[in-house]
Amino acid sequence: MRFLFVLFVSALTFGQDSKNISLLDQWQNNNLEVNSTKVRYNECWGFVYDSQEYAILGSTEATHFFKLTDANKLIEVDSIKGKHVASTVIHRDFKTYKNYAYSVCDEGNSSLQIIDYSYLPDSVYLVNEIESNFKRAHNLFIDTVSGLLFVCGPMHSSMSIDTQYKLDVYSLTDPVNPSLIWSADPTSFPYVHDCYVRNNIGYLNCGDDGLRVYDFSNPSNPLFIQNLNIYQDQGYNHQGWLSPDGKTYIFGDETNGKRLKKCSVDANHNLQINSYFGTNSINNSVPHNIMITNELAFVSYYNEGLRIYDTRNTLPEEIAHYDTYSEENVFKMNGAWGVYSELPSQRILVSDRQNGLFLFDFDRTVFNAPSNGISSLFPNPVLKGENITIKLNVPNSTLNYSEIHNEIGQKLLTIDNSNFSYQVIEMNFSAGIYFVKINYSDYLGDENHEIHKFIIH
């Protein structure tokens, strides 16, 4: 969804604080089991099947599947009840491979559920449920290139004894019946809380033991590459993501006040931290899950909601946010839990522990455009009937309104703005020379003006 003339701020009333993001839809079900802190939801994920975009959301009771319509609505099409259902369920995780979703739970006496979604948009079906090595598991990751399933923090059940393993690797040659290839030695290998694996190179988030990198080309005998176990702003190493070009890895520590870490990745897959960044760290905010492109980082930031950063500079700059959890609380781990930013439409999914599943619009093309000076106007010249974009390039600034004037100074149009640092305006004027006067507030709240000259052909 893109915006002409007055930038549209969603009529949905949820959310009190946003910038450069529009809320398209939000789903929640107040009939689901809930605990004393009103937590009903956990992770989210996205996928495409038969050219249609879908979302997955975890709850205290189930794994829920949603269709994302062309009208930007979240429509629940089906759900699979978890083996363990209780208000104490705070964590489910899932990933997709071929036409299957794999779902685990980290509470109770649970299982690996393998769900066939080839019947969508009508329904999904549970085609296998494996309990023996999946009494609990914290996270999953699938290297889709090698067809390997990585299970983080699995609990194996052997007779009446439960053994906490650190990391299991399965082959998905038969997607419905995963085959165990390797289990990390529980006596010598650190606990793996989460991981990211691509082309057999695994970045393992090991909690209090930091970050490790392994080569899983031979998954039955992985090769150690690096141990990043001491670094500035260290906390509980939680989760990270690798850029599509493989040159940047960003991770977060799930600890009050610890900032995100931006790392360069060399040809041998070694990491070097280059910068630290985040939102409201001074007040003990906590980042949770991260996905990145070559230019942007999308972060579900608990109480701070969804935060988006431009990572092209050495010190990434926050360029957009939406607070899904408007309440303030001493406890810093309410609110935004999961984020998914890889849908072809570029719509963004966010799951909030208390408030369910959110669907957002964020115009990435605006922030890939030129950023010279205090503000930019592009394209220039422009054809009649096409759009121009006006964008502020000053951090922590807000575009209040714009005025279009003709060559002799007559004001033709005023375009109000709210919670955006840019505007997209359709040019339906005759060919000629025009001026845009913009009014914006800087980081101090002071109002300022700038004027741009442009041509309509």
Whether the predicted pLDDT of 323 surpasses 90: yes
Report the C-alpha gap between 138 and 151 in whole angstroms: 8
Q: Into which CATH architecture does domain 375-456 fall?
A: Sandwich (2.60)
Q: Print burial letters for 118-143: b (CB count within 10 Å at least 16), e (below 16).
A: eebeeebeeebebeebbbbbbbbbbb
Residue 302 β-bridge partners:
336
Contact 101, 115 (CB under 8 A): yes
Residue 358 φ then ψ, to 5°: -115, 145
Confirm or reject CATH 2.130.10.10 for domain 18-365, answering yes or no.
yes
50 or 314: which leads in pLDDT: 50
Query: Per-residue confidence at 127, pLDDT binned at 50, 70, 90?
Result: very high
133: CB partners within 8 A, 6+ apart: 112, 151, 154, 156, 157, 168, 180
- What 3-state class would DSSP assign to 61? coil
pLDDT average, residue stretch 159-166: 77
Peptide bond into 381 cis (omega under 30): yes
Q: Which residue, chain included where needed, has tokens 């439409």?
A: 345
Closest by CA to 286, choosing from 322, 241, 337, is: 337
Query: Per-residue confidence at 1, pLDDT binned at 50, 70, 90?
Result: very low
CB atoms within 10 A of CB 428: 12
Whether the predicted pLDDT of 162 surpasses 90: no
Whether the predicted pLDDT of 309 surpasses 90: yes
**pLDDT tens digits, one per residue of 185-233:** 988 999 999 999 999 999 999 999 999 999 999 999 999 999 999 999 9
Report the C-alpha gap between 377 and 398 in whole angstroms: 15
Whether the predicted pLDDT of 15 surpasses 80: no
**pLDDT tens digits, one per residue of 426-440:** 999 999 999 999 999
Contact 273, 262 (CB under 8 A): yes
pLDDT average, residue stretch 310-325: 95
Report the C-alpha gap between 128 and 95 in whole angstroms: 15
- What 3-state class would DSSP assign to 378? strand
Beta strand ranges found along 144-259 (DSSP E) = 148-152, 155-158, 161-164, 167-171, 179-183, 194-198, 201-205, 211-215, 223-228, 237-242, 248-253
pLDDT average, residue stretch 43-66: 98
Per-residue pLDDT at 16: 54
List Cα–Cα distances, 40 to 89, 95, 203, 324, in angstroms: 8, 20, 30, 14
**pLDDT tens digits, one per residue of 413-422:** 999 998 999 9
Whether the predicted pLDDT of 5 surpasses 50: no
Per-residue pLDDT at 356: 98
Pull the structure tokens for residue 41. 């939801």
pLDDT average, residue stretch 43-58: 98
Q: What is the largest CA-CA distance in the chain?
A: 87
For strand 432-441 and strand 422-426, is the pairing parallel, antiparallel, or unpaired?
A: unpaired
Whether the predicted pLDDT of 158 surpasses 80: no
Whether the predicted pLDDT of 14 surpasses 60: no
Per-residue pLDDT at 327: 87
- CA 425, 430, 431, 434 torsion: positive or negative? negative
Whether the predicted pLDDT of 169 surpasses 80: yes
Sketch the domain layout of the chain as residue ranges.
18-365, 375-456
Check: pTM over 0.85? Answer yes or no.
Answer: yes
Pull the structure tokens for residue 175. 């997607």
Pull the structure tokens for residue 325. 């959890």
Pull the structure tokens for residue 55. 């979302």
**pLDDT tens digits, one per residue of 327-374:** 877 899 999 999 999 999 999 999 999 999 999 999 999 998 878 889
pLDDT average, residue stretch 110-122: 98
Whether the predicted pLDDT of 32 surpasses 90: yes
